[in-house]
Amino acid sequence: MLPADDHALTGDESLVLPAFDAPPSDPMTLLVTWLRDAQGRVAEPRAATLATADAQGRPSSRVVKVKQVSPAGLVFTTRESSRKGRDLAVNPHAAITFHWRETVQQVNVTGQVVLLDDDASDALFESRGREARATAVVSVQGAVLEDEQALAARAEAALRRPHLIRPATWHGYCLVPERVEFWQGRASRLHRRLEYVCGEDGWISRRLQP
């Protein structure tokens, strides 16, 4: 058994984040600002935990790369056959959490997930590196792996093709935000929290206790 760990949080908690005292009206604009400011300070600012649940409410989570952030939502990609793809087919709600240890920040976004159209999915596929596209073409994401060497050989053969076409079951998905929370950690545990909830008249913001 591991002993209890109650050490202080690590990271630069000295960042001046004015949004906590003067929240802007739009949380997605604020998220874009936080992401832009994280460049150069955080190793992988677009890496985030995506949490989904199946029809019985059983959760699963994994780290994904958020491809796009806009007022419309957060975009990521996957195959229909993956666990997250299967979850979203029956329960199209999810949460995405960014955690930046270097700056002691988190952002949590929850909402409904919608499937992007073929044109948007094609563009997302083309934006991937060639090796990533080759893997997507030959791998049935989430299926049982019988022969790793055979899979690698198929990926290598796909790389020799002049053009790689997006598999029909590989899509872009967009999490449309309904709730957004911004968090700044402090070693004192007096964390700063700012929550936005989308209502009939737009976004409402409020501070939360730690």
Residue with tokens 């600012």: 45
What is the phi/psi pair of residue 61, to 5°?
Answer: -145, 155
Residue with tokens 């955080």: 42
Specify the CATH class of 18-129+168-208 in words: mainly beta
- The CA distance from 131 to 173, in Å, is 21
CB within 8 Å of 204: residues ≥ 6 apart? 196, 197, 198
pLDDT tens digits for the chain (210 residues)?
A: 877 776 767 788 889 999 999 999 999 999 999 999 999 999 999 999 999 999 999 999 999 999 999 999 999 999 999 999 999 999 999 999 999 999 999 999 999 999 999 999 999 999 999 999 999 999 988 889 999 999 999 999 999 999 999 999 999 999 999 999 999 999 999 999 999 999 989 999 999 999
The closest alpha carbon to 96, from 127, 73, 125, belongs to: 73
The model's pLDDT over 64-95, given as tens digits with 9 standing for 90+, comes to 999 999 999 999 999 999 999 999 999 999 99
Rounded to two decimals, the pTM is 0.93
Contact 100, 45 (CB under 8 A): yes
CB within 8 Å of 22: residues ≥ 6 apart? none
What is the phi/psi pair of residue 24, to 5°?
Answer: -70, 165
